[in-house]
A and B are shown apart, each in its own frame.
Chain A
Amino acid sequence: MSTAQAVPAESSVNYLNANYGIKSWLLTFDHKRIGLLYLASITLMFFVGGVPAVLMRLHLIEPQGALFEPETYNKLFSTHGIIMVFFFLVPSIPATLGNFLIPLMIGARDVAFPKLNLMSWYLFIIGALFALYATLSGGVDTGWTFYPPYSSSYSQTHVVAVALGVFIAGFSSILTGLNFIVTIHKMRAPGLTWFRLPLFIWAMYATSLIFVLGTPVIAVTLLLLGAERILHVGIFDPAVGGDPLLFQHLFWFYSHPAVYIMILPGMGVVSELVTAFSRKKIFGYSFVAFSSLSIAVISFVVWGHHMFVTGQSVYAGLVFSVLSFLVAIPSAIKVFNWTATLYRGSISYEAPMLYALGFIGLFTIGGLTGLFLASLATDVHLNGTYFIVAHFHYVMVGGAVMAYLGGIHYWWPKITGRLYPDLWARIAAAIIFIGFNLTFFPQFVLGYLGMPRRYAVYPAEFQVLNVMSSAGASILGIGYLIPLIYLTWSMRYGPVASSNPWRAKGLEWTIPSPPPTENFTEIPIVTEEAYNYPVAEPRKYPSAPGVARV
């Protein structure tokens, strides 16, 4: 394996300083710059999507609603869902970390189709602009699920504009997935067989399969919905023999696998973090690798569990329920394997590891509560309540967002050539963890007690739990702002990072931080397994990364 190059970043030409000027960024084909373009856009969309959430939680401190009319409240939860799902979570890790890291981790100079990669970003921006325009013009009130006949025939809001934005952004993700699949198949360095790949790559490959197979279906579904809304005829309208449930089938055919688009990359990041910060190779590599593929495949046959109480056939419900239990198994396998990796590892608690550990705990809770919902009888009681809201926030925020933050922190030195202040990072991680649990755990209780979701008002006996949740949301919001501050600060004032501040295994750590534009001066030849940490490691090592040591 090539030796680490400890050349300080400042003295060499890297991808950040190779070209200056706005055109060199907006017309770049470099996957690393495109990853940063996405990072900026997605961070913006995260805060745009977060504003309605803050407003909702403030509104819900009073049983009769403190701030908004119900019609406005409907627009808030719809906007929050649409922006967060389609414009933050789906692209988050794939478009930022995936774009940046995949060529580095496989020893390639770029992705297979760099121009398509840039086009993906532009499609994302155009889609986001449509969605933002619609939001600023009054938004939609259909929920992020756009169910007809409300969305096709009755809603007086900007459904077509938002649907168009999502449609265009969908093509962004299709092209990203296509690019990743071809890159991983065809551009691995010599000696880098499938079973020597980092698990992040397996996770990104599985995610890309879902991108490519699922997204086109929601694209055509939104097209049909838009046509129905504009022409006042269509295939979902019961008046002409249509079935609104058909929309739901087509919608969820994508949207259920979409949630695995959101979590699989996070699981890939966690595999990297757990191995690096316990300095130990992953327990059960092939199980983790195949579990990623299994999740991607099984995710496509469970969508009906979103429709148990919609009037769907009971027989279909039975099939979907059994398959939904099945999809939990590969996720559980990952949790077992991460835990076994941690066992007797040389563990250190830098911020990325805190996020990884938080992920394992919170994802487990979220995943287990999913089983309550997969079970037909309990779902009848819990569907449409805050239990569902809590469930998916545990996996998407407690899971995916924490993994995203962990990954951003872990690879920050590689991306920027700077170290962030780890003390502040750990404080922020703790605040986020506390704020998150205070926000969403009470929602499990609320849901169990029967409080419906998407309602602007609620019975007075639920107020205490709602106030707890809103307090937690304020803490969580502050927690998210802190990394924004110190990460930005570190780009200019942080200590310069070496090529491998974490002393981790992986091809990305063998090149300078930040990397040169062409990534590798010579394409490496890989001879080692992944995570090939030496078995006997000293129990402790200095906890300030990047400080020069032997």
Chain B
Amino acid sequence: MSELAAHGTHPPGFAHQFETVGQQREAGRLGMWVFLVTEILFFGGMFASYTIYRALHYESFVTGSHLLEVKFGATNTYVLICSSLTMALAIRSAQTGKRKGQIILWLILTMIFGALFLGLKLRFEWYRDYVDGIVPGINWAYNGPHAPGVQMFMCFYFFMTGLHALHMVAGLGVLTVLVIMTARNKFSPEYYAPLEISGLYWHFVDIVWIFLFALLYLIGGRYPGS
């Protein structure tokens, strides 16, 4: 029976095109998973291109990869994993009816980790790459071996991490909205769908980075002689 008939009033956040809260919840989750599939294909176009060129220009890609510093890539990976934990805990706090202050705390921590990721990337990777002259199209002054292929690799590096960073920025925007909604008492154990759905998005962006780190920074290994 409809929510209206069952309760006489609509539960918070209930949307009228649905018959029950359960239906709305399932629809929201399915919708976000379908959206994440579109994101898999969106990033996937670049992953596919990367796979092909890496196969065809392996030496160049190894050379290019060695221009990146593993310590920054690894640190950023640790940072994002922390942010995924805090995001999961934020959702759990809402699920278990904790005070809104606690939910907001976890959300803000997630945002801090996200901002830290972007800050580290901008300051210690991209800015330094710009100064070193290995940003294709903007400041390219590379004189080492396999120059054309290294330029190709750096194109991929900037396109892929750039697109990823844009998704992080969007995620920070979403988190800001969630903090405001939490402060306004919108969430409860019965209704926390926006948190859950945003969490799915945030974790997805983390997963993309996990693969970017492995594929961009660690090609061909970092052992002596690689």
Contact = CB atoms under 8 A, between A and B. Distances in A.
Q: Do A and B touch (CB < 8 Å)? A: yes
A128 B86 CA distance: 41
Contact of A219 (B27, B42, B137): B42
B143 to A, nearest CB: 15
B48 A186 contact: no
A246 B52 contact: yes
A241 B152 contact: yes
A444 B155 CA distance: 44
Contacts of B138: 231
Contacts of A492: none
B151 A216 contact: no
Interface stretch (B6-14, B28-36, B108-116, B211-219): B28-36
A221 B48 CA distance: 11
B19 A523 contact: yes
Contacts of B163: 220, 223
Interface in A317-338: none
B149 A250 contact: no
A79 to B, nearest CB: 26
Interface stretch (A5-13, A34-42, A174-182, A363-371): A174-182
Interface string B12-49: 00011111000100110011001101110111111011
A270 to B, nearest CB: 27
A110 interface: yes
Given A186-B27, A231-B137, A233-B155, A221 B45 contact: yes
A35 to B, nearest CB: 15
Given A182-B27, A235-B152, A216 B34 contact: no
A246 B136 CA distance: 20
Contact of A235 (B37, B39, B156): B156
A190 to B, nearest CB: 9
Nearest to A227: B159
B164 interface: no
Interface string B39-79: 10111111011001100110010000000000000000000
B21 to A, nearest CB: 13
Interface residues of A, number: 44
Contact of A217 (B30, B41, B52, B151): B41
Given A111-B17, A241-B152, A182 B43 contact: no
Contacts of B18: 112, 187
A216 B42 contact: yes
B148 interface: yes
Given A216-B38, A219-B42, A246-B52, A187 B151 contact: no
A110 to B, nearest CB: 4
A178 B17 contact: no
Nearest to A238: B148
Contact of B16 (A109, A187, A234): A109
B140 interface: yes
Contacts of A113: 27, 31
A239 interface: yes
B38 A233 contact: no
B49 to A, nearest CB: 6
A212 B155 CA distance: 27
Contact of B137 (A103, A179, A232, A246): A232
Contact of B37 (A212, A217, A227, A523): A212
B185 to A, nearest CB: 22
A235 B45 CA distance: 12
Contact of A250 (B48, B53, B56, B57): B48
A110 B140 CA distance: 53
A340 B70 CA distance: 65
Given A235-B49, A241-B148, A220 B30 contact: no
A224 interface: yes
Given A113-B31, A178-B34, A250-B48, A239 B148 contact: yes
Interface residues of B, number: 40
A213 interface: yes
Contact of A242 (B17, B37, B140, B152): B152
A149 interface: no
Scoring A186, A242, A523 by chain B CB atoms within 10 A of each residue's CB, the highest score goes to A186
B152 A217 contact: no
B83 to A, nearest CB: 24
A244 interface: no
Contacts of B15: 114
Contacts of B16: 109-110
A109 B148 contact: no
Contacts of B39: 216
B123 to A, nearest CB: 22
A187 B46 CA distance: 35
Contacts of B136: 231, 233
Nearest to A179: B31
Given A221-B45, A235-B155, A241 B27 contact: no
A187 B23 contact: yes
B23 A186 contact: yes
Contacts of A253: 45
A359 B53 CA distance: 44
A185 interface: yes
Contact of B17 (A112, A227, A230): A112
Contacts of A232: 137
B27 A215 contact: no
B45 A250 contact: yes
A108 interface: yes
Interface string A101-118: 001000011111110000
Contacts of A231: 136-138
Contact of A112 (B27, B38, B46): B27
A240 interface: yes
| Most A CB within 10 A of own CB, among B42, B137, B140, B155 | B155
A31 to B, nearest CB: 9
A220 B155 contact: no
Given A231-B136, A233-B155, A182 B45 contact: no
A240 B34 contact: no
Contacts of A178: 31, 34-35, 38
Given A178-B31, A235-B156, 9 more contacts: A103-B17, A110-B17, A112-B31, A181-B30, A212-B37, A213-B37, A220-B42, A233-B140, A241-B148
18 contacts: A108-B17, A112-B27, A113-B27, A114-B17, A182-B34, A212-B37, A213-B38, A213-B41, A217-B41, A217-B45, A220-B45, A231-B138, A233-B151, A234-B155, A235-B152, A241-B56, A243-B53, A250-B49
Closest 6 CB pairs of A and B: A231-B137, A110-B17, A220-B45, A216-B42, A216-B41, A233-B136
